[in-house]
Amino acid sequence: MGEVIDNTKENRFELDIDGHLAIVTYSISDGAIYFTHTETPAHLQGRGIAGRLVQAAFESARQRGLKIVPRCSYVAAYLKRHPEFQG
């Protein structure tokens, strides 16, 4: 698997797997990062790709001192399973 990239021009974190993109989109406002959508190509689902992508996005947010605000169901569920990113 490749490296997670923060594509700031598109406001999304990306992970390229064999030429197919998995993404998590976001917006930043008032010291918070709002994760709005997570998408993994259907044929790549079930391999932990979305989790890896969201974890990297959360780590980036933490490093930048941004509060994580889930606006999509996958990110909200991930945050519940990983309370170390809350707060």
Full residue range of the structural domain in which residue 60 is found: 5-85
Of 33, 41, 38, the residue nearest 77 (C-alpha):
38
Q: Residue 51 and residue 49: Cα distance in Å, rounded? A: 5
| pLDDT of amino acid 15 | 96
How many structural domains are present in the chain?
1
Note the pLDDT tens digit of each residue in 9-54: 999 999 999 899 999 999 999 999 999 999 999 999 999 999 999 9
**Sheet of 5-7: strands edge to edge?**
5-7, 12-17, 20-29, 32-39, 67-70
CATH code for the domain in which residue 31 is found: 3.40.630.30
User: Are 17 and 44 in contact, with CB atoms under 8 Å apart?
Assistant: yes
Q: Would the pLDDT of 1 be above 90? A: no
